Structure 1
């Protein structure tokens, strides 16, 4: 029996990472992520691949790395999330960081496309629910330091502008909505702080586990 699986999803700068860190600190559920702050040291290879290859590849001149090679490396993170989620102890709920939904959406929008690979990702065990943390693009833009902290997978074009960032985030939300269509999606709006967001997500996960 696999554990009950909740995917925490949202656009960039929605506060997802902060909520996951808060959930991990409370210890009421198993948190699965490839973010450095949440990655189990036993899987440090995942972090090194992300930091060393993806950072270089995203900034490399066009054509240096093929789309297939880029997606092969992205797939390391995607499969890691699946493995850790389905292999987690079944005695408490699992909250997984975006699963494959967000990376698939971003790769599609940025032109890294592979129908066969994406079809395989979509065959992964579906989550029991998706908790979607929503945020207005204008708020996300401000949280990004007005583009200063935005990475190349958060906007269109070579350099972030408010227009290229906003358009990308809106398209990202639409693609993620299509990918999660038919699933139990619970949308949570902006709150007054991280603790309130953690409380809401924790309650949603707990209610789902007892529903």
Structure 2
């Protein structure tokens, strides 16, 4: 059994709506104590931790995209970030109630498996990162995501580390599909909750479905997934 309130993660391909859906669900479930915490948030619990996490966040999300550094570098940087985030942001927040995060290290793990990393290497890299109690996979086809997000996608999301001759629709769909296939495998192995999001579904409908699932997960005790 989990000793604290449940830690719930929304996971899915780039552009699947994790952040807006997490924010809406937390707002709708605020009366139950559900908190949305952005995966990029630095510590508010420790000034020392925040001082060290801030440059990590800048490197990861505010330094632009370039192929100069390998996925090996970025993977280790991400592992450091999620270790600190789990210890300094998630853990303190769980003492106040359920926590909902818009993405965790799991998507990165799915990508690395398609870039030549073995399961043993990936498990070792993230072995000390806090595990979610519940993971919800937003299963959205990459071709649908391209129609939604084309023009707003970063080179890294288009497959910069995937060794494609050119970055665009073809690289995005292939890169995201490979990651999604691995996430589906991880979901089956880890007993995640999979939410299929069909092509024509609007954000409000998806939001209601996500909120209902999170309400059920955060108000029903159960074994740690």
Counterpart of 2:182? 175
Counterpart of 1:73? 77
> Do the aligned partners of 1:82 and 1:99 also contact (CA within 8 Å) in 2?
no
Q: 1:181 to 1:77 in 2, by over 3 A?
A: farther
Aligned-residue offset at 1:149: 2.5
Structure 2 residue matching 1:188: 3-state secondary structure: strand
Q: Which residues of structure 2 form unaligned runs of 5+? A: 45-49, 221-225
Counterpart of 2:47? none
Instruction: Summarize the alignment of residues 1-12 of structure 1 with structure 2, pairs less than 5 Å apart.
Output: 1-12=3-14
1:8-66 Cα deviation digits (max 9, x unpaired)? 0111211112112323444351223235xxx368457153222344x2xx4144xxx35
Greater Cα offset, 97-106 or 85-94: 85-94
> Do the aligned partners of 1:135 and 1:189 also contact (CA within 8 Å) in 2?
yes
Which of the residues 131, 152, 155 maps onto 1:152?
155
1:195 equivalent to 2:204? Answer yes
Greater Cα offset, 161-170 or 77-86: 77-86
Which of the residues 50, 62, 66 maps onto 2:60?
50
Counterpart of 1:19? 21
1:175-204 Cα deviation digits (max 9, x unpaired)? 223334433322223274333322222211
1:134 equivalent to 2:139? Answer yes
Counterpart of 1:82? 86
Matched pairs, number? 200
Q: Which residues of structure 1 form unaligned runs of 5+? A: none
Once residues 207 and 41 of structure 1 are traced to their aligned partners in structure 2, the CA distance between those partners, rounded to angstroms, is 28
TM-score by length of 1: 0.77
* RMSD, aligned α-carbons: 2.9
Instruction: Summarize the alignment of residues 200-211 of structure 1 with structure 2, pairs less than 5 Å apart.
Output: 200-211=209-220
Instruction: Summarize the alignment of residues 79-118 of structure 1 with structure 2, pairs less than 5 Å apart.
Output: 79-83=83-87, 84-110=89-115, 115-116=120-121, 118=123
Once residues 11 and 67 of structure 1 are traced to their aligned partners in structure 2, the CA distance between those partners, rounded to angstroms, is 18
> Do the aligned partners of 1:133 and 1:190 also contact (CA within 8 Å) in 2?
yes
